[in-house]
Amino acid sequence: MDLILPFLAGLGLIGIKRTKSLDDCLNIRQTQAVNGFFVVIIFIRHFYQYITQSKYDRILGHINSSTGQLIVVSFMFFSGFAFVRQYNISEKYLSKVPKKIVALYLMFVITVILFMTVGIASGRSYGIKTVLLSFVGIRSVGNSTWYVVAILFMWAFSYVSFKQKMIPPLILMTALTTVYFVVMMHFMGDIYYNTVAAYLLGMVCASYNDRVIACISQNKMFYPLLTGVCGSMALGGFFKRLLPVYELCIIAFCVFLLLFSIKFQVDNKVLRFLNSYSLEIYLIQRIPMILLRNVTTVNLIYFILSFALTIPMAFIMKMIYHLICKLLSLTTSKSQTEEQFLPFNNAK
């Protein structure tokens, strides 16, 4: 697997150019490309859960284990950013959110059924409790769960916070996110709550976008911030099991995304393409990994085959998503600003 490191580097570097204008450095093309890169990284993360590492997998394996949940921070951050941007464009956007929550949940339900079908066909059996809890993301039947649970709660909190007019939306959103954080900390694993701060930070950044960008783009702020980000990430590498330190890393990585976008833009069609199917890839990528697990003992070939099978399956899942949206009277046409508002996409 270490052999793909040059490919990853090339994929990340192709299309990078200096940012010409700070007015819209977090534009949709930029955030889609950044997220597209992390689609591949997340795929690799999950793939490593199905292999026995050889001496040819150690470098990537070390990178994989040391980055932790940081690989999903961009999705959380840009989702929060997108919500506020769309709300600022038109408050009518709120009316779409409940249907979008339903659409994502139905996609999750379909995914659970697919995984149970694959599991049963492979000789596995599931208890009633596991089956029932899998449909609410508390248990898993082989599928990924926590991100869908977290983002559905963030969407619901966002809707409630911006729909009411009594409390400033960001204050209520902060309160609701804090309650979610505490509850999940007591009842669920840390992956369910340790990145939601990035969503909230994305909302704050979008709310004060001009002032934030103007402030941190100045050299007297940019380079000290960059130094602080690097220091925080290094600290997190040594003490990542400490929750306050880990949350500091989450915030630092959000700041890094801002600093990177201030200096560089990524114009990469491949990455934007991957982002456009990021939800579908996330939901079903484990199925090819399960089906092809015993086809070859060469991890690199196993990886290539799994990724190659995931793409057409993602196409089919996208068709299902569009059908669900049609039934819910949700527009998903690209002519409608390509906003989609899935957990891995963002607004203009």
- Secondary structure class of 341 (helix, strand, coil): coil
pLDDT, residue 239, reads: 66
266 phi-psi bin (left φ>0, alpha ψ -120 to 50, beta other): beta
Is 210 contained in some domain? Answer: yes
Is 30 contained in some domain? Answer: yes
Is 285 contained in some domain? Answer: yes
Number of domains in the chain: 1
Is 23 contained in some domain? Answer: yes
Is 348 contained in some domain? Answer: no
Q: In degrees, to the nearest 5, what angle opens at C-alpha 187 toward C-alphas 184 and 189? A: 70
Is 155 contained in some domain? Answer: yes
Report if pTM > 0.75: yes
- Secondary structure class of 242 (helix, strand, coil): coil
* b/e code 246-255 from CB counts within 10 Å (16+ = b): bbbbbbbbbb
* Tokens representing residue 116 in the block: 């149970």
Q: Smallest Cα–Cα separation from 21: which of 201, 214, 204, 252?
A: 214
pLDDT, residue 160, reads: 96
Asked if 39 and 274 touch (Cβ cutoff 8 Å), the reply is yes
Amino acid (1-letter code) at residue 24? D
**Residue ranges of the chain whose pLDDT lies below 50:** 333-348
Helix axes 5-13 and 28-47, enclosed angle (nearest 10):
170
Distance from C-alpha of 34 to C-alpha of 231, rounded to nearest angstrom: 22
pLDDT, residue 333, reads: 44
Is 206 contained in some domain? Answer: yes
Is 343 contained in some domain? Answer: no
Q: Smallest Cα–Cα separation from 180: which of 139, 151, 144?
A: 151
Q: 201: domain range?
A: 2-336
Distance from C-alpha of 336 to C-alpha of 90, rounded to nearest angstrom: 13
Asked if 107 and 328 touch (Cβ cutoff 8 Å), the reply is no
